[in-house]
Structure 1
C-alpha cells in the first residue's frame, strides 16, 4: 500500500502499511489483520503528529471501535466563553487567564483598543512572522516521532535524524534509501515540508 502523508491515520504491520485514512477505517483493517495473524506487530500513527497512538485491540471489531477516544492523544481543554456585551459580535472569543508583570499591563493599557485587542494583534503578528518556522518545526517533529518509532533499529537511524533536523533533504533521502519501502516513503512524506524552505531559497538564489 502507498502511504499518503495527508492521511489522518495510518497503520503498519511490521514494516508494511496496511491501511491509511480515517481512524475507524484504519482500526478496522488493523484488527482484521490481527485476527488473521495473531503474532502481527501493529502500530497505528496519527498522521498529523506522526506519533503512535495506543489502541486496545481486545475483543471484536465492534468492541475495539467502541473504545476509541474521539481524538486520540489530544489533551482535554476546558474553554470558558467570554461574557458578551450589548451588541458584541460572536467572534469565537474565549476567556483565559493571562499573567503579566505590571509594566506589561501598563503598556497594554496604553494601546489603542485596550489590552485584549493589543494582545490579539501581537499574537497574529507573531503567527505570521513565525509561520514558516512553525511549519518546518511541526514537520520535523512529526517525521521524527515516526522515525523514532519505526526506524530506530534500521540502518543509519542516527544519520537520518541528523539530516532531518539539519534540513538536509539529499542526505535524508540517501540515508533512508535502504529502509523498507513503506516506512521509507512515509518518513519522506512527513519530512517533506521541513525541507521546502531550503529548496525555495536555493531556487531564488539560482
Structure 2
C-alpha cells in the first residue's frame, strides 16, 4: 500500500479521483476565530452559488456512482448506508459503509480506515465521535455557559449513554461526496481496495 498524501496535498491519483483531497483535521475553532470563520463562510457561499447550475448533473453522477459502488460492496458483505423507501431523490454528503462484525473482531475501524486511505490516496475516516464525547459539545469549556453548578451538570453531555451512536462510530467508515464524481471504472477501484484491505485485515501493519 502506498502512503496517503500529506494534508493539503492533492490526491495521490489526481487523474482518477480529481476532486478528492485528504481531510484536514484542524483543531476546534475558538471564539477569537469567529470573524475569520464568518469570512470563510462568505467565500464558501460565493463559490457554492456559482456552482448551483452544476448541482443537478453532479447529483445524478454521484447517485450513479453510489449505486454502482453499493452493489459492489454489498457483494463483499459490507453494508452501505441505506435510505428509506419513501425517499423520492437521494443526494450525498458522505458515502458511509458499515463493516461486518467479523472484520471488526480482527481489527478496529480506525485501522481499517487508515489502510483504505493509504490504498486509495484519499481520506477514508470514522464517523464523528458521539455527542456525549465530542469536543464540539463541551459547554463547561466555554465561559458563557458557566452559569451555576446545577446548569453545568445538566448541560454535561457526558452523563448520557448513547450506545447506538457509539456502535456506529465503532463500525462505520466514510468518504466525501466529491469522490463519487470520479468515472465509474475509478469507482470500481474503491471496491477493489475494500476487498484487498479486508482480505489482509489480520496481517500486522508494516
Shorter-chain TM-score bucket reads under 0.3
Larger radius of gyration: 1
Q: Give me the TM-score of the superposition, normalised by structure 1.
A: 0.24
